[in-house]
Structure 1
Amino acid sequence: MPLPLVVVPGMLCDASLWSDVVFPEGHTVHHVALGRPDIGALADDVLTATEGPFVLVGLSLGAIVGFEALRRAPERVAGLCVMATNAAGPRPEQHAAWSELDALVAAGRFTDVVERTLPDMFPDRRPSAAGADRYRRMAWSVGPTAARSQLSAQATRQDAFAALGTARCPAVVLSGGRDTLCPPAFHHSIAKALPQARIRELPDAGHLVPWQRPDAVSAALREVVAAATAR
């Protein structure tokens, strides 16, 4: 039976994040939305998306949720592909920023939140007009209610490096070389913590790697699925 893929997007992202990616043929793909205000609850959503072992794919907050799923059930994760993320615990200034964004959403200023987060999604914080419009459409499809849940979930994050050390599966870590939100150093630390990881640095990509380098994401998924299947 081909291994299913469980795919988790980042904050203010939905399944359209992966629309340019070619998933391995013959493998069922389960998209998990980020709609609950707790990392543990979101990890449970990942683990109940399918039965048995699966390949976990996550970007940013989605990868952080995946790290918690790995901590809870390492035997279920047959392969791992993560990108544009951070396995460290949140810093005080991040808590303050999330609280500020939540207050804006609560005050009916979701547009301000979208515009404030937009530059960090693109290489060197310099979006093209088309890229910016695409991000705005995706963020509004997620909407303010889910955004507040995601901000609450961010505040429940924990350091995930101990969980990464429990992984016994093949893994690929993708890093955008021009990602100002989660720079390459974050990904080298993640790859070092995972016992069977390979890192791929993409010099021209920013944070939204599946949009900016769908070819590299597609290749990484083929690599992880092939290695996980061989095991």
Structure 2
Amino acid sequence: MTAFPEVHRPATATAHRPVVMLHGGNVANWMWEPQLAALRDRTVLTLNLPGFGERVREVWPGLDAVADDVVARATGHGVDGPFDLVGLSLGAVTGLRVLARHPGRVHSAFLTGAPLERPGPGVRLVTRLQMTFWRARWFWRAQAAAFGLPADSRARYVAHGMSIRRETASAMTADVYRGGIPAGVGDYSGPLLVIAGEKDNVAVRRSLTRLGKAAPRAQLRLAPGMHHIWNVEDTTLFNGVLRAWLDGATDPRLVPVPRR
């Protein structure tokens, strides 16, 4: 599989803030390729987290260390001031740690699909099966279909999934399942949009209201008709929502989630 670059710069100089994008679990920074066309006027960092993509041989160091790694890696790529943060799934969970540990580095945050509650029995069963059938190509294909990935995205998902070390996935999954909401995330004072796909699993959707209690300033929304990895499920919708957010607005197609 061809390496996907971490740094994407605009053709001409720009005054816009850089965007740092954090991928989900069992994928890598290439998952953001469909978004780059909508962000041509910005410097975009599609970072690989430890243990994924070109860093597949690295050990998963824990969520706090991964959050620190994100900031250090952004700085190493020349982004030493505030950036706009985008994260999906594992990337959203990591993003919350970045907000809690490095709030001064984040201007705004767009986080979707963050599992912050203990998963239900169905998700735990899938996780156990994943560990059992880690080297089975058919299982990765089944997961790609379950996530609603388009056919042209499934081959890459399967190939990369099978390249990840089982130890990495096991440690990362355990970390996410026990992680919850990091202390201090409510102290982040910048714009925060938290989204779940309308058809995402129950634990992810319930996580919205839980995060809303910890971070009262957060905007809570559902993406209508979407599953978990909706940046490729409906690229046009995702890019439109993301572009509106980076331009200072919340897309009205998103459905507000009542606070309880």
TM-score (norm 1): 0.77
Structure 2 gap ranges (5+): 1-14, 52-58, 75-79, 250-260
Say whether residues 1:144 and 2:160 are aligned partners. no
Preserved contact between residue 97 and residue 185 of structure 2 (Cα < 8 Å): no
Of residues 91-100 and 191-200 in structure 1, the stretch that sits farther from structure 2 once superposed is 91-100
**Correspondent of 1:111 among 123, 131, 137:** 137
Preserved contact between residue 7 and residue 58 of structure 1 (Cα < 8 Å): yes
Q: Secondary structure, in 3 states, of the residue corresponding to 2:247?
A: helix
Preserved contact between residue 137 and residue 162 of structure 2 (Cα < 8 Å): no
| Deviation of 1:112 (Å) | 4.9
Task: Provide the aligned C-alpha RMSD in A.
Answer: 3.0
Identical counterparts, % of pairs: 24
| Deviation of 1:98 (Å) | 4.1
Report the equivalent of 2:64. Answer: 40
Q: Secondary structure, in 3 states, of the residue corresponding to 1:165?
A: helix
Report the equivalent of 1:28. Answer: 43
CA distance in 1, matches of 2:138, 2:155: 11
Say whether residues 1:208 and 2:232 are aligned partners. no
Say whether residues 1:219 and 2:240 are aligned partners. yes
TM-score (norm 2): 0.70
Q: Secondary structure, in 3 states, of the residue corresponding to 1:196?
A: coil
| Deviation of 1:211 (Å) | 1.2
CA distance in 1, matches of 2:166, 2:27: 10
What does the per-residue CA deviation read over 1:14-49, in whole Å, with 9 as the maximum and x for residues that have no partner?
Answer: 233223224444321111223241323322221123
Q: Closer, same or farther in 2 for the Cα pair 1:138/1:28, shift >3 Å?
A: same
1:93-132 alignment, distance < 5 Å: 98=127, 101-105=130-134, 109-115=135-141, 117-122=143-148, 131-132=150-151
| Deviation of 1:59 (Å) | 0.6
1:31-180 alignment, distance < 5 Å: 31-34=46-49, 35=51, 36-37=59-60, 38-50=62-74, 51-88=80-117, 98=127, 101-105=130-134, 109-115=135-141, 117-122=143-148, 131-132=150-151, 134-146=153-165, 148-157=167-176, 158-160=179-181, 162-180=183-201
Structure 1 gap ranges (5+): none
Higher relative contact order (CA 8 A, sep 6+): 1
Q: Secondary structure, in 3 states, of the residue corresponding to 1:6?
A: strand
Of residues 132-141 and 43-52 in structure 1, the stretch that sits farther from structure 2 once superposed is 132-141
Preserved contact between residue 93 and residue 115 of structure 2 (Cα < 8 Å): yes
Of residues 154-163 and 28-37 in structure 1, the stretch that sits farther from structure 2 once superposed is 154-163
